Amino acid sequence: MLKNKLYDFVLFNFLAQDQKNTEEVMTAGKGFVVPGIVASDFDNIDKGASRVKEIKAASDVVSIGLGGGGNPEFAKRVVDIAALSNPGHINQPFDQCAYANGYLAGKGMPQLVNALVVPSGSVGTVKLPSGLEMKVEELVEIAQAMGIESIKFMPLKGEAHLEELVYLTKVAAQKGIRGIEPAGGISASNIKEIIQAVKDIEIEFFMPHIFGSTIDKETGRTIPAEVEKIMQALEG
């Protein structure tokens, strides 16, 4: 992952349509950005891989997300695109992350694989995409045993599940997980509160995925001015 982090631990994931959009977003985000695509946008694996390679011309690391609101049906598509493009970071449902991790490492292109879990509505537990509810401590121990370095928490719904996110981040940091990646309803209006809530937790990286509030609905391009608003909100 990028060494350059805001406050020494914060990165941002924004989508990018091409090399130019990547460069715009990287500049607007002051370099604290991991640009990405979502697999749901690419029925054609080769086209997805080509997009990743184009974005990599402007960023050493690219993230391939599931798309469709974190739909597990796109897990294999993420892996297939990654196998042709070596992006550096991929998103997977918790239930399938170990396979993806091992498969890509076996092809000589190890990735930073996150494991998607879902808020349960109760502090101290999370749900797997399959619906199984687990204690956070047990989940983190299993992630460690599988060699998973980051946990994605989605949908955060803005600040609706913030206490649950903070608890997960604390436990993950204590047990040596490198990163936490929240997604869902994050925007300039709440990013400061979200970052403030975890700022005293010593975790290597905390990477909000911010899509809906920053994307031009007609073109699909991430709007640099909206990225700038998020950065400005943190400075205010």
Radius of gyration of the chain (CA): 16
Q: How far apart are CA 54 and CA 69, in angstroms?
A: 24
> Is 1 among the domain residues?
no
List the domain range (segments joined by +) for residue 191: 12-235
Mean pLDDT for 56-77 is 96
Q: Which residue has the tokens 């805001």?
A: 6
Q: Does the pLDDT of residue 1 top 80, yes or no?
A: no
Does 113 map to a domain?
A: yes
Give the model's confidence band at 124: pLDDT under 50 very low, under 70 low, under 90 confident, else very high. Answer: very high
Contacts of 185 (CB under 8 A, 6+ apart): 155, 156, 157, 158, 160, 212
182-195 confidence digits (pLDDT tens): 999 999 999 999 99
* Domains in the chain, number: 1
The closest alpha carbon to 116, from 138, 103, 135, 98, belongs to 98
Residue 5 lies inside a defined structural domain of this protein: no
Q: Which helix (H) or strand (E) holds 71?
A: none
pLDDT, one tens digit per residue, over 90-104 is 999 999 999 999 999
Task: Specify if 213 maps to a domain.
Answer: yes
The CATH number of the domain holding residue 185 is: 3.20.20.70
Is 214 within a domain? yes
User: Does residue 166 lie in a domain region?
Assistant: yes
Residues 234 and 9: their CA atoms lie apart, in Å, by 14
Please report whether residue 128 resides in a domain.
Answer: yes
The tens digit of pLDDT for each residue in 20-51 reads 999 999 999 999 999 999 999 999 999 999 99
* Domain-located, residue 84: yes
Return the sign of the alpha-carbon dihedral for residues 73, 137, 149, 3.
positive
pLDDT in tens, 7-19: 999 999 999 999 9
